[in-house]
């Protein structure tokens, strides 16, 4: 069983279960390694409904550090931090002071539209799909250029509700984005949460992953669990996708360093 490098805690206000329950769930499913990556605080007020308050951050660290004392699974300490205009003012000095094992970078907003938020889904009916994706990938390129993050979260997230541009348009915007990701040395996660959404697909799709593979971009696995039972979610599907794209290894993280690990499935 591979490691699960993406999961949340109650501190972000939209996940359930105690962090200890996530660890228990991993133990029960025989997942040897998990990394907590809750939504990072943003003292400028950005999307405060979906992230921990800055005052809760010491609680987050203490909670994970305590769980690291267990023997199995190995528990790692990470964070999911959004990229948006102006985020660096806080993030750059703050990340430099923390001792995370990995930092996931994600984009959940285009301007002030939470494009993956079910409450704002109807906006998709009044916009142009290809242009919207193109805006999204411009942000991905900007995110990569900051070199603040280790991993790109859910790379083709705009497909969540099924709005997907024609393949030719998608390739045109994807290639420069992947080039920036490769140049920054960022890893792409195979995020299983897409299987729980209307699109019913892992993020990213096979065609996207193949283009990443061509550029020698490395991968890691994440369930994006927001409840204990989602830890290790649909691992078989993400594993198969990695293999289908030609991957033989994935990355585990330690203190923001990449450990290359062979893809071995013992089922």
Residue of 238, 234, 233, 200 whose CA lies nearest to 219: 238
Question: Which CB atom, from 124 or from 171, has the smaller least distance to Fe ion?
Answer: 124
H/E element holding 24?
A: helix 19-28
Binding site for Fe ion (CB under 5 A): 80, 106, 153, 224
Cβ neighbours of 122 (radius 10 Å): 9
Q: Is 156 in the site for Zn ion (CB under 5 A)?
A: no
Candidate segments 16-24, 121-129, 182-190, 223-231, binder of Zn ion by CB under 5 A: 223-231
Distances from the Cα of 213 to the Cαs of 127, 199, 227, in angstroms?
31, 23, 31
Q: Which residues of 84-117 are buried (b: 16+ CB within 10 A; e: fewer)?
A: beebeebbeebbeeeebbbbbbbbbbbeeebbbe
Question: Which CB atom, from 31 or from 153, has the smaller least distance to Fe ion?
Answer: 153
Q: Which does 56 bind (CB under 5 to 8 A by kind): Zn ion, Fe ion, none?
A: none
Binding string, residues 101-120; x marks residues near Zn ion by CB under 5 A: --------------------
Q: Which does 102 bind (CB under 5 to 8 A by kind): Fe ion, Zn ion, none?
A: none
Q: Is 224 in the site for Zn ion (CB under 5 A)?
A: yes
Question: Which CB atom, from 197 or from 240, has the smaller least distance to Zn ion?
Answer: 197
Q: Which does 143 bind (CB under 5 to 8 A by kind): Fe ion, Zn ion, none?
A: none
Residue of 127, 201, 190, 104 whose CA lies nearest to 162: 201
The strand pairing partners of 82, in sequence order, are 106
Q: How far apart are CA 223 and CA 195, in angstroms?
A: 10
Question: Which CB atom, from 47 or from 172, has the smaller least distance to Fe ion?
Answer: 47
Question: Which CB atom, from 152 or from 241, has the smaller least distance to Zn ion?
Answer: 152
Q: Is 189 in the site for Zn ion (CB under 5 A)?
A: no
Using CB positions, name the residue nearest to Fe ion: 106
């Amino acid at each position: 069983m591979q490691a699960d490098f993406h999961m949340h805690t109650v501190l972000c206000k939209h996940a359930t279960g105690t962090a200890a329950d996530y660890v228990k769930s991993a133990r029960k499913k025989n997942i040897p390694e998990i990394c907590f990556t809750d939504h990072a605080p943003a003292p400028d007020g950005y999307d405060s409904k979906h992230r921990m308050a800055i005052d809760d951050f010491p609680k987050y660290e203490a909670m994970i550090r305590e769980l690291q004392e267990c023997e199995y699974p190995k528990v790692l300490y990470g964070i999911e931090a959004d990229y948006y205009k102006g985020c660096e003012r806080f993030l750059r000095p703050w990340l430099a002071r923390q001792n995370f094992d990995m930092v996931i970078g994600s984009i959940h907003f285009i301007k002030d539209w939470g494009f993956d938020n079910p409450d704002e889904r109807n906006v998709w009916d009044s916009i142009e799909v290809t242009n919207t994706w193109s805006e999204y990938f411009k942000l991905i390129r900007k995110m990569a250029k900051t070199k603040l993050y280790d991993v790109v979260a859910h790379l083709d997230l705009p497909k969540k509700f099924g709005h997907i541009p024609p393949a030719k348009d998608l390739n045109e915007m994807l290639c420069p984005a992947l080039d920036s990701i490769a140049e920054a040395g960022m890893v792409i996660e195979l995020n299983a949460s897409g299987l729980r959404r209307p699109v019913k697909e892992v993020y990213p799709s096979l065609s996207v992953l193949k283009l990443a593979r061509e550029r020698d971009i490395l991968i890691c696995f994440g369930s994006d669990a927001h409840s204990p039972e989602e830890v290790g979610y649909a691992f078989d599907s993400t594993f198969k996708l990695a293999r289908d794209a030609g991957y033989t290894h994935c990355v585990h993280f330690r203190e923001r360093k990449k450990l290359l690990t062979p893809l071995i499935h013992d089922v």
